[in-house]
């Protein structure tokens, strides 16, 4: 900033602070915003260089403060209010916690062990019906067995897996 202009602007701002702030409050409608804008104006003036002579220091300072106030409002518009933050914090997280994740891992491990303990055909029938969602009639045709035998193998697989998993979860809880 020119050596002559900076002292003039700073002197004008200091001596007429209340009048400039009053004008800003009328334009902005907010006393706090006007005060904050004037403080930022003072700070920015301190770092300005190479400014040409100014005809109206008051108009220059008010325009600068209004522009700063607009920047402040934009910044504040991108942040959340306390109420917004509180409402976000009250949202529940539906992701399972560490205890539930551990329980699920134990259950999955137990199920995989149970599947390994089943006879081959019984295991394959269970996988085809429950995981691959194949119709039981199609499974019976693939194995060349009756539909009743598919039902029997499924019941056998379910009973075995249920018993195996009950024993495992009981051990984990003890």
**What is the pLDDT at residue 95?**
72
Q: Using an 8 Å Cβ cutoff, are 28 and 34 in contact? A: yes
- Which residues of the chain are under the pLDDT cut of 50? 1-2
Number of Cβ within a 10 Å radius of residue 60: 18
**What is the pLDDT at residue 87?**
62
pTM, two decimals, is 0.44
In the CATH hierarchy, which fold is given to the domain comprising 5-81? Rna Polymerase Sigma Factor; Chain: A (1.10.1740)
pLDDT in tens, 67-112: 888 888 887 765 556 665 566 566 566 677 788 888 888 888 888 8
**What is the pLDDT at residue 101?**
86
Work out the burial of residue 34: count CB atoms within 10 Å of its CB; fewer than 13 is exposed, 13-18 middle, 19 or more buried. buried
| Domain map (residue ranges) of the chain | 5-81, 98-173
Q: Using an 8 Å Cβ cutoff, are 96 and 44 in contact? A: no
**What is the pLDDT at residue 116?**
92
Q: How far apart are CA 79 and CA 163, in angstroms?
A: 55
Token pair of 121, please? Answer: 């055909």
Q: Using an 8 Å Cβ cutoff, are 128 and 118 in contact? A: no
Domain 98-173 in CATH 1.10.490.10: no
**What is the pLDDT at residue 153?**
95
């Amino acid at each position: 900033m020119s050596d002559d202009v900076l002292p003039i602007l700073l002197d004008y701002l200091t001596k007429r602070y209340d009048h400039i702030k009053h004008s800003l409050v009328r334009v902005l409608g907010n006393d706090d915003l006007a005060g904050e804008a004037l403080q930022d104006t003072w700070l920015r003036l301190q770092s300005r260089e190479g400014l040409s002579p100014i005809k109206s220091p008051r108009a220059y300072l008010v325009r600068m403060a209004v522009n700063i106030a607009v920047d402040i409002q934009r910044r504040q518009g991108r942040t959340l209010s306390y109420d917004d933050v509180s409402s976000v914090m009250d949202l529940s997280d539906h992701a399972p916690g560490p205890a539930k994740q551990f329980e699920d891992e134990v259950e999955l491990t137990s199920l995989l062990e149970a599947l390994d303990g089943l006879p081959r055909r019984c295991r394959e029938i269970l996988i085809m019906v429950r995981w691959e969602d194949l119709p039981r009639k199609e499974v019976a045709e693939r194995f060349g067995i009756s539909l009743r035998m598919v039902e029997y193998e499924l019941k056998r697989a379910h009973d075995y897996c249920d018993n195996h998993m009950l024993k495992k979860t009981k051990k984990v809880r003890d």
